[in-house]
Amino acid sequence: MGRSFQEQLSPPDPMLVVGLISGTSCDGVDAALCEITGSGRGSLRIKLIAFVTEPYSARMQDRILAVSRGEAQTEDVCRLNFRVGSTFARAAAAVIEKAGMQPQDVHLVGSHGQTVAHLPPRMDPGILATGVTERIGSTLQIGEPAMIAEQLGVPVVFNFRARDMAAGGQGAPLVPYVDYLLLTHDERARLAVNIGGISNFTFLPPNGNPEDVLAFDTGPGNMLIDAMIQLMTVGKQLYDKDGALAAQGQVDGYILSHLLKHPFLQRKPPKSTGREEFGVKYARELYEWGIKRSVRPTDILRTVTDFTAISLHLAYVNWIKSKHAVGEIVLSGGGALNPVLMARLRHEFGSVAIHLSDDYGMPVKAKEAMAFALLAREAIQGRPGNLPSATGADGPRVLGQVCFA
């Protein structure tokens, strides 16, 4: 017999939670099974028990990207929502099995879903009778949570970003709340950097309060690099393994200067971005422009790889460095596995020590999935999961909706 609604709303401590996410690379679903205990900065603890990645098929990835590019019909989005939900359910089942457990051993699932559109607030035409403008942001993640709840018999928290956006926020980044709880140091200022499809960081002042945290997207991460690789290899290679191809190239100064003029880099935080600004369309235009200028493909790739690190450091210089001295960087995300990208990042930050999030119990590839496990647990216990100082929302909000088992 399954748990009653009251039991689902009153989980124990410690609590076993599966966190699920598929990022902008659309290569598969990351699943982290975590044990979480305590609450609040200083007493909260999260332990990774097992981690897996459930890959998408090539056809599934193509269909997701087609939806993201606006090349799909409503019926396609409808069907894909359930297909992706089934993949998320398989990922959750796989990580539970890897841990040697059964679904009934798990108390909760937190599913970020697969983002197919993220449109931060702009001054868009409003729908008010007066005809005045209002800030309207919107976001869409697919991966039907009912499929997860049905197949596992476990309640699912989902749709985390929407509530923050309804309160006037960017809906991103959300991981800074987790950074604040787990990585704030009593004496040293830290910068928690994540290089996923998009790069972002969280500035954590020593012994700071939530309102002291500053976090935002800094620009492209692996998304632009991956798109260049796919263009170079006509889809035969999906990413630059170990930075091998970028290592064969040289930075093209003219292209780099053009990239550094991107308007997103000059925009004041809070801010977030995604495929809409740094996706395949932008990459293709950049690649074709470089080829017309007789720039070698490997040089274009090296340039965008270095640009990723430079734009991240530029955000630090523009919005953090003049006010705060950062003592160390805690790095996560798939970009941490690219030696060329890491070499440029270390060059840009100079003497600032860079440590992998692995050193703090959160492996670089698992951190985001772990974060949504924690955000789900906060939601089911009625605690806000956003940082208004990071997202620009009108105030703290409990994030997500619940699909009961």
pLDDT in tens, 266-323: 999 999 888 889 988 999 999 999 999 999 999 999 999 999 999 999 999 999 998 8
What per-residue confidence (pLDDT) applies to 150?
A: 97
Q: Are the C-beta atoms of 188 and 208 separated by less than 8 Å?
A: no
pLDDT of 132: 38
CB 188 within 8 A of CB 195: no
- Residue 286: the pLDDT is 97
pLDDT at 229: 95
Tell me the CA distances in angstroms from 128 to 122, 135, 136, 158, 163, one per residue in order: 16, 12, 12, 29, 21
Low-confidence stretches of the chain (pLDDT beneath 70): 1-2, 5-6, 9, 122-135
- Which are the contacts of 91, defined by CB distance < 8 A and separation ≥ 6? 20, 28, 29, 30, 31, 52, 53, 54
Task: Tell me the residue type at 377.
Answer: R
Name which of 194, 182, 190, 187 is nearest 221 in CA terms.
194
Determine the length of the chain.
405
Count CA atoms within 13 Å of residue 37 on its CB side: 5
Other CB atoms within a 10 A radius of the CB of residue 234 amount to 7
Superfamily of domain 5-174+365-403: ATPase, nucleotide binding domain (3.30.420.40)
Residue that is written with structure tokens 């051993």 in the block: 105
Scanning the structure block, which residue is given the tokens 């401590």? Answer: 13
pLDDT of the residue at 5:
66
Domain locations in the chain as residue ranges:
5-174+365-403, 176-351
Domain 176-351, CATH homologous superfamily name and number:
ATPase, nucleotide binding domain (3.30.420.40)
HEC states along 54-70? EECCHHHHHHHHHHHCC
**Rounded Cα distance, 227 and 197, in Å:** 10
Share of the chain above pLDDT 90, in %: 84
What distance in Å separates the CA atoms of residue 156 and residue 403, rounded to the nearest whole number? 5
The H or E element containing residue 30 is strand 28-37
| 5-174+365-403 matches 176-351 in fold | yes
CA–CA distances in Å: residue 395 to residues 138, 151, 319, 387 = 18, 35, 22, 8
**How many Cα atoms within 13 Å fall on the side-chain side of residue 215?**
34
Query: What pLDDT is attached to residue 129?
Result: 39
pLDDT at 26: 85
Residue with tokens 């009912």, as numbered in its chain: 146
The whole-angstrom separation of Cα 20 and Cα 88 is 7
